[in-house]
Amino acid sequence: MKKVILTSGLAVVLALPAVGWSADYQMDTSGAHSSVNFKVSHLGYGFIKGRFNEFTGSFSYDPSNLTASKVMVTVDTGSLDSNHAERDKHLRSSDFIDAREYPEATFVSTSVTSMAGGKLKIAGDLTLHGMTKPFTIDAEIIGEGNDPWGNYRAGFSGTGRIELADYGVKVMGSSSYVDLELYVEGIRQ
């Protein structure tokens, strides 16, 4: 009996890649192996780096069928952290992202295009400051495999540029845009 289960289990596992089975991954936020970072010019002389400490996300990913991949992320805008209490308070205020009125920002992919050299173009809808606009993330596969603690992980990096005016956020400084830097590690479910 045991043998039958093992054998049939093996058969299923072997059959999976052939049918393009997409695995679901949960972004590793509890272990903080994923981060949503931003970078914005300060006066044109330097850069401020910050991040959103709280977000959740998931993706489905199959290396043999990349275009079937999907990504979903929800960011708690109130968790903005640029390592400066007074600036963070200002950035969360209605002068900028208005975290009280719009506590969440979301990204939901609509299509994934496979590019040369393990690169991906992830198109989707970004909702920020109460407005939803098409948004593209240039992503790259970093690696995947078993971790030492019994899980299977896949990791990506991504970049994207948010034009503040697109989302109705006033442009006050020297820069009209904010660059996103994303590092995502997913644990296969």
Partner 1 sequence: MAQHQVEKYDGVSRLFHWLSAITVLAMFALGVWMVELDYYSQWYQKAPFVHKSVGLLLAAVTIGRLLWRLKAEHPEVEGKPVEVMAARTAHSMMYVLLFVLFVSGYLISTSDGRGIEVFGWFTVPGAGELFRDQSDIAGRVHYYAAFLLIGLVVVHVAAALKHHFFDKDNTLRKMIGISK
Residues found near partner 1 in the complex (CB under 8 A): 78, 83-86, 88-89, 92-93, 99-100, 172-173
Amino acid, single-letter form, for residue 187: I
Is the CB of 115 or the CB of 172 nearer to partner 1?
172
Closest distance to partner 1 from the beta carbon of 36 (Å): 18
Amino acid, single-letter form, for residue 113: T
Give dist(CA 151, CA 131) in Å, integer: 37
Closest distance to partner 1 from the beta carbon of 168 (Å): 19
Strand stretches in 99-176, DSSP E: 104-114, 119-128, 131-146, 152-163
Is the CB of 70 or the CB of 87 nearer to partner 1?
87
**Distance of alpha carbon 31 from its chain centroid, rounded?**
15
Is the CB of 56 or the CB of 159 nearer to partner 1?
56
Closest distance to partner 1 from the beta carbon of 99 (Å): 8
3-class state of residue 156 by DSSP: strand
Is the CB of 93 or the CB of 132 nearer to partner 1?
93
